[in-house]
A and B are shown apart, each in its own frame.
Chain A
Amino acid sequence: MRTAILHFCLCAWAMPVVAVAAADDLDFFESRIRPVLREHCGECHSRQAGDPEGDLSFDSRADFLAAAGIAVAGDPDRSLLVQAIRYDGDLQMPPAGKLPPEVIRDVEEWVRRGMAWPDDGSRSTAAFDIASRKAAHWCWQPPQRSPAPTVRDSAWCRDDLDRFVLARLENAGLTPAPEASQTALARRASEVLTGLPPDPEAVAALVADTDPRAFEAYVDRLLASPHFGERFARHWLDVVRYAETRGHEFDFAIPNAWRYRDWVVEAFNNDLPYDQFVREQIAGDLVDPPRLDPQSGANRSVVGTGFWLLGEEVHGPVDIAQDEADRIDNRVDTFGKAFLGLALGCARCHDHKFDAISAADYYAIAGMVMSSSYRQAPYEVLGANRDVAMRLAAADTKARQTLLPLAAALAGESGADIESQIIAADHAPGDGETVIADYTQGPRSTPIIADAAAWGTAAVPAGQPTLVSVEGSPARLRLDPLGHAQSDATWSTASSTGERDPAPLGGVDRAGRVLRTPKVRCDQGVVWHRVRGNLQIYVVVDSYVMLTGGPLYGSHLMTIDTKGEWQWVRQDLRKDMAWDAPHTVHVEYAAIAGEAGVAESVAAIEQPQRTDPEFSARVNQTLESESFDWTSPAATAAVNEAERLAAARAAIASEARLASATAPAILDGNGIDQCVLLKGSAARRGDRVPRRFLEAIDGASQPSWPEHSSGRKELADRVLDPANPLTARVIVNRIWHHLFGRGLVPTTDNFGVLGEAPTDPQARALLDTLAVRFAAEGWSMKRLIKEIVTSSTWRMSSQRDPVAVEKDPLNLLLHHYPLRRLEGEAIRDSILAVSGSLDRTVGGPPVEVFLTDFQQGRGRPGPGPLDGAGRRSIYVKVRRNFLSGFLLAFDAPVPFQAMGRRNVTNVPAQSLALMNDPFVAEQAARWARKAVADADLTPQQRIDQMVREAFARGPTNDELQGALAFLTTQADRHGVSFTEQPRHEAVWADFAHALFNAKEFIFVP
């Protein structure tokens, strides 16, 4: 019997080298093979000459064995080594010229006979030893909670974390800077926690509040503000290389990517516990039960999986398999950096050079990514429609139980054991066929994988009774001859309310209508579909989704209308690719209109031949014959019953919710184990690696990963397991980094050997203690942030003590609060805030990015408004190929991989932007207009107000006098008298422009 899940292995042929060899085989090796390897390969592939090329050396048996996949014992034709020396493919070795034919024959013979190689007792000189690497580096050791150290000045400490910081300072003979003023703290907390300046009124209220816990209350208000979520969401978006287009040549959209962005904003605002935040990004589609929006019932969890899908994608890649490998690499790498602080991507081409991460670890996780495909999820209606689908399935079962005996009886068939006659006996696939999905087999059919509820919960078994209306006559019953996956006509009216995938793929409103087969390895470039109805059929090859009408791969997509009949449909993928090597495929069927059915999906050159069971055909022949009397009492009763059941069913179907917003999300599939790709090349497959978590954390023997699923749910479990030493540390460190401008581990995305370790043992103890508590106390990010922000450490002023600066010039010990240069987003948002132009709406579709004439190129959109419609920067559309020039000048990241720590540069372009960017000039004018509106203010009061808005403090006397002098002379330059026209807008705009250009505007002490 065929297993229901078409699990397969992409590379079962890569077998280990035979270890025991006969003596004559060894002689053959010594006399004929070893000299060849030495003479023709040794120059490059030997450790004696430094690092061997491609990490492949022929020095010893151990080295050769370590090069997994280089050859297959017994099968020269499938051995890379042999292919290379034959000059068969891309890899041609040795490069200097093809070896003589007799030498090639010898090597073939050696491989055929099992690749005997004497055990010389050697160990690979570069043996990769996870245990010793793990033991040698701090990040793999479990974090331990340490007692707070004792300090001399315990009165200074508000919180345990202060004791760790103070102990370091006291050890170094330093004292912490005095506490910053309330005004300074008000501005610092507001900019750091919300990315916006405080209202002067809020500052005044804090200063006036005599409650000793006034600052705590102020911080609570900031954390409760929706702008907190916007601020910290932007930090997270840096980590996940967030963009709303796919870059590359034409910069196509990632439709509805902003739904993920809003998901992040909401997560921070609702203080979604970090473990759930992680779980939903890794496997929100598999979280059961999902987190639902309390008002709308929308599935929130699934939107988190957009995380995986935010990378660059290439359209029309000639080497589609390599393109997949690159795409998966970006996902694996981002996953590793974001959640684990590990550079997993470094283990793509070889075992990690420094960290306890093997290439096998990388491909174990790559398999999970490969098993996960893309969809636009109609997340608003997933839950409601799943209920509808389950009730429909129950109704169908009931209808079958009721009507099948009635129909059989009408046709004169005996009632015994009908079911066993209806479903086809096992039919083995014909020669050269790869069955992708088979929905004809009743309960043993391929399980339904779909992007929503349209295709029900299981395949409809053959013989399902259906009601056929006949013009001018009573309705009739007939049996559906084939088992199949079915989408009712109701679901073909589903509509998405957001963006669709680019045409032609998005030519059909696919969301909510997609049936996805398992993914299989396919040697044939022709796929046959046995389908009924009006369908879009999309053969997804190597998970390539960029069917945007560009060159290549148009043949992956077709539409068909079978006019209600079952039909075999042929799709030839060889029009676009040679198909000279296996590719992975799955098929996605989307109903275009009406009812649609899919019975089988088969990769084969010739049309598959099937013998359908006769029972249904026999019954139908009788029921459809001219002589059959549909007015007989029995027929009438059966039809009446069928109509009653149909009406009940229609009532259920009417509850389907058909319109929904969509979000990019993962559609889970069957589990696929990936092969190690030698040097990361899709053309060079090594050993298969079962999906599992990192060996350094979970050991070498781990429970099997599921076959029916990618295993991301299990992956999330392992990431969040208490035994994982990294997850809590990494996020605690990220938060510390955002609050102090520098993490306790400065390299926020890399805790490995090439990252920077914690500065000193106290820093490590502090990080570990915070991490252990963070996880133990419920993973609340807001709570951690509040604890840090209200500590004495965070409240230090930015005033620098000369002694401390001499001893610790880089402020590694935190003897003062570092002066922070605001990020581009915070600068832009602060400009909008003080000018009165800020639109404080939280969430929603992005506003198009403003582009200058200098920003040209393919896929250029019509430029957006200069002021971004007053929206916060997080809502400005992130187009990979057209990033905001203003934000880029201030180090906004180019989104291609995790960037948890931005560069903080000082470049003239920043000054030029503040001096001459028309956006800044426009905002200065608006600020001036706002400032002069109140005619009752004196110039002094107006100056005071504007300085407070900009810097959250009043002007000094020098500043006030300087400002007045400036206004007077500047008015002269504008040809007006300041005394006569103290509210001249252009003059005040110049004053506003000066405040924007003052360093205090972009630097926060």
Chain B
Amino acid sequence: MPRSHHHCRRFRGLPLSRRDLLRQAGTGFGAVAAAALLHRDAARAASTGTLSALHHAARATSVIFLYMDGGVSQVDSFDPKPRLKQDAGKSPHSLFKVDATQFNNVGTILPSPWEFKHYGASGTPVSDLFPHMGSVIDDLAVIRSMTSEFPEHTNANYFLHTGSGLQGRPSMGAWTTYGLGSDNDNLPGYMVINGGLIPPGGLDNFTNGFLPATYQGSIIKPTAAGLANVRPEETSAAHQPAVLELARLLDRGFAASLATGTAAPDALESAIANQELAYRMQTEVPALLDLAGETAATKRAYGLESDYEPTRIFAAECLLARRMVERGVRFVELTCPNTGADRWDQHGGLRKGHQNNARAVDQPIATLIRDLKARGLLDSTLVVWAGEFGRTPFAQGTDGRDHNPQAYSIWMAGGGVKGGGVVGATDDYGYRVVEKKFTIHDLHATMLHLLGIDHTRLTYRFSGRDMRLTDVAGEVMTDVLA
């Protein structure tokens, strides 16, 4: 049977389908092998929950997750609070109940050092930190009522990435590729472009956890090194084909020794095929990373010619993200470059730290939105901009802000998202949510929903129960849906 060449092979559970593989191999297995395969695939579908079909029509096929490591201050970005000026210098304890904070160094009400302007047809206010994002505001759905459960980075990072504050659970990218597979045989389905900072909690933010290793995030650097082990050693590159050819000769004999009148074991066939895929990846990944084919105008627009190095790094990340989405990578996450200010985590030096971080990401992100739109990719790409929590409206010390999980702002754009609006509201100080409180579980549910997945039905049995990205919670945020 010919292999389907449907544009979007999202229905495949694993990046490499056993069934397709053997059909492709064309070694003429009889009904016996087919019976084994059918049985096995059926068993897998039943026991792992890998989707055999979408739960509903997808609005997006890829995700770009712009991870704002450290926690952007909501009252300095997308949630203006004039009241902070009025009450500047007052003790927050005299104004509202203050929750325990990470550093327990509660200062006075600290107004935003930035002014807000209204942008776009929607007139949505954005602070002077993000003029470029302001310019694409009509494509963004700003959510001012996001919450987390944890005021510490590591728990909050795990929570944002995996739906659990504890270490070791599968990341949202792993869950997504577990459900949908990849659209590109020669690239991993879940790629993390590391701008230089790995968030607290480490690589376990991108882990497959208890899901099979197939789904772990592949860490890519936006610079020449690329992906681990993807380039042969300089000296062996020319010698490698023959080495693999000899290995293949040995494999043929090995397979034959195990298969008297029947197919060689599945696992062995898969391993052989994976070696061929790996070989192709050696070409595909460097081609992906090579920006030489991009026009000078594109590079300039992203910020690759900026005189600020972090901007250049994040520009390369955003441009790579677009190239990955073009190639069918399912889930792309971008981490921030190092601006010397410890991510967005401004416990002190708010003005300088946030300014530098904004300078690094603002232009590249706005260009990414415009570029995706121009290429017709925005409709099928969900872009999410979020940190792990927000920051307090009162100072930590004198010129910083501590962590605030009670309320913060994120935005979503692209496939299936209603741009140009603001959803949810916080109190007069931007401290707590007063309207449309959303949780990380809701965010995950919404992301999966836009990808055509019912978050309650994407499960994996582990640890004695059917695990979900959304644990036992999560509601789709219908207010942001187009």
Question: Which A residues fall within an 8 A CB radius of B?
Answer: 247-249, 251, 312, 314, 316-319, 326, 330, 333, 337, 342-343, 345-346, 353, 355, 551-552, 575-578, 749-750, 752, 754-755, 798-802, 805-806, 809-810, 818-819, 821, 852-859, 880-883, 885, 888-891, 894-897, 899, 903-913, 915-918, 921, 956, 958-959, 962-963, 966, 969-970, 973-974, 986, 990-991, 993-995, 997-1000, 1002-1003, 1005
B236 in the interface, Cβ–Cβ < 8 Å? yes
CA distance in complex: A345, B465 (Å): 10
Q: How far is the CB of B260 from chain A (nearest CB, A)?
A: 6
Question: Which residues of B, 156-176, contact A by the 8 Å Cβ criterion?
Answer: 165-168
Q: How far is the CB of A928 from chain B (nearest CB, A)?
A: 12
Task: Name which residue of chain B comes closest to A886, CB basis.
Answer: B229
Tell whether, in the assembled complex, residue A856 and residue B198 are in contact, meaning their CB atoms are under 8 Å apart. Answer: yes
Q: How far is the CB of B12 from chain A (nearest CB, A)?
A: 15
- Total cross-chain contacts (CB, 8 A): 291
Tell whether, in the assembled complex, residue B213 and residue A891 are in contact, meaning their CB atoms are under 8 Å apart. Answer: yes
- Could you say which residues of chain B place their CB within 8 Å of the CB of A799? 257-260
Contact with A along B188-218 (1 / 0, CB 8 A): 1000001011111111100111101110101
- Could you say which residues of chain B place their CB within 8 Å of the CB of A921? 233, 236
Tell whether, in the assembled complex, residue A894 and residue B204 are in contact, meaning their CB atoms are under 8 Å apart. Answer: yes
Q: How far is the CB of A322 from chain B (nearest CB, A)?
A: 9
Beyond A819-B267, A903-B212, A912-B228, 12 additional pairs, beta carbon < 8 A: A247-B204, A317-B152, A798-B265, A854-B228, A880-B202, A903-B213, A906-B271, A908-B278, A909-B188, A910-B274, A990-B243, A1002-B271
Given contacts A552-B102, A894-B204, contact A853 B225 (CB under 8 A): yes
Can you list 30 pairs linking A and B with CB atoms under 8 Å apart? A248-B154, A248-B167, A312-B166, A314-B154, A343-B463, A551-B104, A552-B103, A805-B33, A805-B36, A809-B40, A819-B268, A854-B227, A857-B202, A858-B202, A859-B202, A881-B204, A882-B203, A891-B212, A894-B168, A896-B209, A905-B212, A906-B267, A907-B213, A907-B274, A915-B282, A958-B249, A962-B249, A973-B239, A973-B242, A998-B251
B293 in the interface, Cβ–Cβ < 8 Å? no
Tell whether, in the assembled complex, residue A343 and residue B168 are in contact, meaning their CB atoms are under 8 Å apart. Answer: no
CA distance in complex: A248, B133 (Å): 33
CA distance in complex: A343, B465 (Å): 9
> Residue B242 contacts which of A312, A918, A990 (CB distance < 8 angstroms)?
A990
Q: How far is the CB of A638 from chain B (nearest CB, A)?
A: 56
Task: Name which residue of chain B comes closest to A914, CB basis.
Answer: B275
Given contacts A317-B152, A345-B463, A754-B465, contact A998 B167 (CB under 8 A): no
CA distance in complex: A314, B201 (Å): 10
Tell whether, in the assembled complex, residue B152 and residue A314 are in contact, meaning their CB atoms are under 8 Å apart. Answer: yes
Q: How far is the CB of A888 from chain B (nearest CB, A)?
A: 7
Q: How far is the CB of B344 from chain A (nearest CB, A)?
A: 16
B238 in the interface, Cβ–Cβ < 8 Å? yes
- Could you say which residues of chain A place their CB within 8 Å of the CB of B282? 912, 915-916
B261 in the interface, Cβ–Cβ < 8 Å? yes
> Residue A247 contacts which of B101, B103, B167 (CB distance < 8 angstroms)?
B167
Q: How far is the CB of B475 from chain A (nearest CB, A)?
A: 13
CA distance in complex: A938, B281 (Å): 38
- Could you say which residues of chain B place their CB within 8 Å of the CB of A880? 167, 202, 204
Q: How far is the CB of A924 from chain B (nearest CB, A)?
A: 9
Tell whether, in the assembled complex, residue A806 and residue B35 are in contact, meaning their CB atoms are under 8 Å apart. Answer: yes
B54 in the interface, Cβ–Cβ < 8 Å? no
Q: How far is the CB of B113 from chain A (nearest CB, A)?
A: 24
CA distance in complex: A852, B153 (Å): 24
- Could you say which residues of chain B place their CB within 8 Å of the CB of A966? 242, 245-246
B151 in the interface, Cβ–Cβ < 8 Å? yes
- Could you say which residues of chain B place their CB within 8 Å of the CB of A750? 463-464
B127 in the interface, Cβ–Cβ < 8 Å? no
Tell whether, in the assembled complex, residue A911 and residue B278 are in contact, meaning their CB atoms are under 8 Å apart. Answer: yes
CA distance in complex: A897, B465 (Å): 14
Question: Which residues of B, 427-467, contact A by the 8 Å Cβ criterion?
Answer: 461, 463-466
Q: How far is the CB of B63 from chain A (nearest CB, A)?
A: 21
B219 in the interface, Cβ–Cβ < 8 Å? yes
B253 in the interface, Cβ–Cβ < 8 Å? yes
B10 in the interface, Cβ–Cβ < 8 Å? no
Question: Which residues of B, 284-320, contact A by the 8 Å Cβ criterion?
Answer: none
Tell whether, in the assembled complex, residue B229 and residue A999 are in contact, meaning their CB atoms are under 8 Å apart. Answer: no
CA distance in complex: A858, B152 (Å): 14
Question: Which residues of B, 222-265, contact A by the 8 Å Cβ criterion?
Answer: 225, 227-233, 235-236, 238-240, 242-247, 249-251, 253-255, 257-263, 265
CA distance in complex: A976, B210 (Å): 49
Tell whether, in the assembled complex, residue B262 and residue A801 are in contact, meaning their CB atoms are under 8 Å apart. Answer: yes
- Could you say which residues of chain A place their CB within 8 Å of the CB of B166? 312, 326, 330, 896
Tell whether, in the assembled complex, residue A889 and residue B213 are in contact, meaning their CB atoms are under 8 Å apart. Answer: yes
B277 in the interface, Cβ–Cβ < 8 Å? yes
- Could you say which residues of chain B place their CB within 8 Å of the CB of A818? 265
Tell whether, in the assembled complex, residue B265 and residue A810 are in contact, meaning their CB atoms are under 8 Å apart. Answer: no
Chain A interface, DSSP helix/strand/loop, else mixed: loop
CA distance in complex: A819, B257 (Å): 12
CA distance in complex: A816, B72 (Å): 59
- Could you say which residues of chain A place their CB within 8 Å of the CB of B255? 999
B330 in the interface, Cβ–Cβ < 8 Å? no
Tell whether, in the assembled complex, residue A912 and residue B278 are in contact, meaning their CB atoms are under 8 Å apart. Answer: yes
Task: Name which residue of chain B comes closest to A804, CB basis.
Answer: B262
9 tightest A-B CB contacts, nearest first: A343-B464, A896-B168, A809-B36, A911-B278, A881-B202, A857-B198, A857-B202, A998-B250, A997-B247
B39 in the interface, Cβ–Cβ < 8 Å? yes
- Could you say which residues of chain B place their CB within 8 Å of the CB of A883? 203
B136 in the interface, Cβ–Cβ < 8 Å? no
- Could you say which residues of chain A place their CB within 8 Å of the CB of B274? 906-908, 910-911
Q: How far is the CB of B459 from chain A (nearest CB, A)?
A: 11
- Could you say which residues of chain B place their CB within 8 Å of the CB of A970? 239, 242-243
Task: Name which residue of chain B comes closest to A798, CB basis.
Answer: B258
> Residue B229 contacts which of A355, A881, A915 (CB distance < 8 angstroms)?
A915
Q: How far is the CB of B50 from chain A (nearest CB, A)?
A: 13
Tell whether, in the assembled complex, residue A895 and residue B168 are in contact, meaning their CB atoms are under 8 Å apart. Answer: yes
- Could you say which residues of chain B place their CB within 8 Å of the CB of A909? 188, 213, 218, 229, 278
- Could you say which residues of chain A place their CB within 8 Å of the CB of B260? 799-802
- Could you say which residues of chain B place their CB within 8 Å of the CB of A859? 202
> Residue B258 contacts which of A800, A857, A959 (CB distance < 8 angstroms)?
A800
- Could you say which residues of chain B place their CB within 8 Å of the CB of A956? 253
Tell whether, in the assembled complex, residue A910 and residue B35 are in contact, meaning their CB atoms are under 8 Å apart. Answer: no
Question: Which residues of B, 15-54, contact A by the 8 Å Cβ criterion?
Answer: 15-16, 31-33, 35-37, 39-40, 43
B61 in the interface, Cβ–Cβ < 8 Å? no
Task: Name which residue of chain A comes closest to B213, CB basis.
Answer: A905
Q: How far is the CB of A205 from chain B (nearest CB, A)?
A: 23
Residue among A333, A859, A896, A904 with max Cβ neighbours from chain B (10 Å): A896
Tell whether, in the assembled complex, residue A754 and residue B194 are in contact, meaning their CB atoms are under 8 Å apart. Answer: no
Q: How far is the CB of A302 from chain B (nearest CB, A)?
A: 27
Q: How far is the CB of A1 from chain B (nearest CB, A)?
A: 40
B355 in the interface, Cβ–Cβ < 8 Å? no
Task: Name which residue of chain B comes closest to A993, CB basis.
Answer: B243
- Could you say which residues of chain A place their CB within 8 Å of the CB of B247? 994-995, 997-999
Given contacts A312-B167, A314-B154, contact A853 B254 (CB under 8 A): no
CA distance in complex: A912, B43 (Å): 29
CA distance in complex: A910, B275 (Å): 8
CA distance in complex: A319, B262 (Å): 60
CA distance in complex: A921, B229 (Å): 11
CA distance in complex: A577, B228 (Å): 44
Tell whether, in the assembled complex, residue A752 and residue B262 are in contact, meaning their CB atoms are under 8 Å apart. Answer: no
CA distance in complex: A903, B208 (Å): 11
Tell whether, in the assembled complex, residue A990 and residue B236 are in contact, meaning their CB atoms are under 8 Å apart. Answer: yes
- Could you say which residues of chain B place their CB within 8 Å of the CB of A247? 167, 202, 204
Tell whether, in the assembled complex, residue B103 and residue A551 are in contact, meaning their CB atoms are under 8 Å apart. Answer: yes
CA distance in complex: A897, B166 (Å): 11
Tell whether, in the assembled complex, residue B251 and residue A1000 are in contact, meaning their CB atoms are under 8 Å apart. Answer: yes
B8 in the interface, Cβ–Cβ < 8 Å? no
- Could you say which residues of chain B place their CB within 8 Å of the CB of A312? 166-168
B481 in the interface, Cβ–Cβ < 8 Å? no
B423 in the interface, Cβ–Cβ < 8 Å? no
